[in-house]
């Protein structure tokens, strides 16, 4: 059994992971550990706190017994608020604790976009605008052009996790400029794994969602072939 480890901050859409696990072969298993959260707030200072090395190291130590082949910090905002180099250092800090390849959701977005060769992109974010702007700056550092950004001003991860499937689709549809080659939904607290094909059909282009790209990168870091899983969209085809 090949195990993949995920550090997930608090609670929101953690049930996306058992669902994605069910779509994979029986020889791959996903193990999720909830990391501690100080204040559930889509605010820069709170997100920097969520991504502190102490919180991630504590979670990483919990994962050690499951012997994962790779580990992902399954949080977009708690990684991109550190900037591109800061996010890389953050992931390296976890890798130093657990001793296996480690990355984060923000870095996975960059890798997935480069893999697909799509740019420019649009972002439909749950966050208030100051946080969304940090994500756009992060992507710019990685050489990815953003031609549309919509912020939906949800103040907490709990609110993002409470969105219905219909509301998630509508959020994606809120920002689909014709010159964007893909649309990004960058919040691991929002349930998206079950809706990727529906969103792609509605938008007519690839959609990258936080939990989807997190799994994709975990497989790659573990040197496992990314399987064809139409339920998880074009990235998995």
Same structural domain, 58 and 131: no
- Boundaries of domain holding 133: 109-210
According to the model, what pLDDT value does residue 144 have? 96
pTM for the whole thing?
Answer: 0.96
Helix (H, G, I), strand (E, B) or coil at 68: coil
DSSP E strand stretches across the chain: 2-9, 28-35, 70-73, 102-104, 121-125, 146-151, 183-185, 207-209
- For the record, the structure tokens of 157 come out as 């991860």
Same structural domain, 116 and 161: yes
According to the model, what pLDDT value does residue 228 have? 95
CATH of the domain at 69: 3.40.50.12500
Angle, to 10 degrees, between the axis of helix 196-203 and the axis of helix 165-173? 30
Strand order across the 70-73 sheet: 28-35, 2-9, 70-73, 102-104
According to the model, what pLDDT value does residue 41 have? 84
- Give the rounded percent of residues in the chain with a pLDDT score beyond 70: 100
End-to-end CA distance of the chain: 23
Same structural domain, 13 and 100: yes
- Cα distance between residue 53 and residue 10, in whole Å: 16
Q: Is residue 135 part of a domain?
A: yes
Q: Is residue 95 part of a domain?
A: yes
- For the record, the structure tokens of 167 come out as 């509301």
Per-residue pLDDT of the chain (237 residues; tens, 9 = 90+): 899 999 999 999 999 999 999 999 989 999 999 999 988 889 999 999 999 999 999 999 999 999 999 999 999 999 999 999 999 999 999 999 999 999 999 999 999 999 999 999 999 999 999 999 999 999 999 999 999 999 998 988 899 999 999 999 999 999 999 999 999 999 999 999 999 999 999 999 999 999 999 999 999 999 999 999 999 999 999
* 27-59 residue pLDDT tens: 999 999 999 998 888 999 999 999 999 999 999
* Total count of domains within the chain: 2
């Amino acid at each position: 059994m090949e195990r993949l480890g995920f550090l997930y901050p608090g609670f929101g859409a953690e049930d996306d992971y058992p669902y994605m696990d069910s779509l994979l072969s029986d020889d791959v298993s996903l193990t999720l550990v909830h990391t501690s959260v100080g204040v559930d707030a889509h605010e820069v200072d709170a997100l920097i706190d969520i991504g502190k090395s102490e919180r991630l190291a504590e979670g990483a130590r919990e994962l050690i017994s499951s012997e994962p082949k790779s580990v992902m910090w399954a949080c977009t905002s708690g990684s991109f608020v550190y900037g591109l180099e800061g996010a890389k250092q953050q992931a390296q800090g976890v890798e130093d604790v657990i001793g296996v390849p480690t990355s984060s959701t923000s870095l996975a977005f960059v890798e997935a976009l480069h893999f697909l060769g799509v740019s420019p992109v649009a972002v439909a974010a749950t966050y208030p605008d100051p946080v969304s702007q940090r994500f756009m700056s992060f992507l710019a550092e990685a050489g990815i052009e953003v031609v549309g950004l919509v912020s939906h001003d949800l103040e907490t991860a709990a609110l993002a996790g409470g969105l219905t499937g219909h509301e998630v689709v509508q959020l994606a549809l809120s920002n689909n400029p014709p010159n964007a080659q893909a649309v990004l939904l960058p919040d691991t607290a929002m349930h998206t794994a079950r809706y990727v094909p529906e969103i792609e059909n509605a938008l007519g282009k690839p959609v990258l969602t936080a939990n989807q790209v997190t799994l994709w990168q975990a497989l790659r870091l573990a040197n496992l072939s990314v399987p064809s899983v139409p339920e998880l969209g074009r990235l998995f085809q």
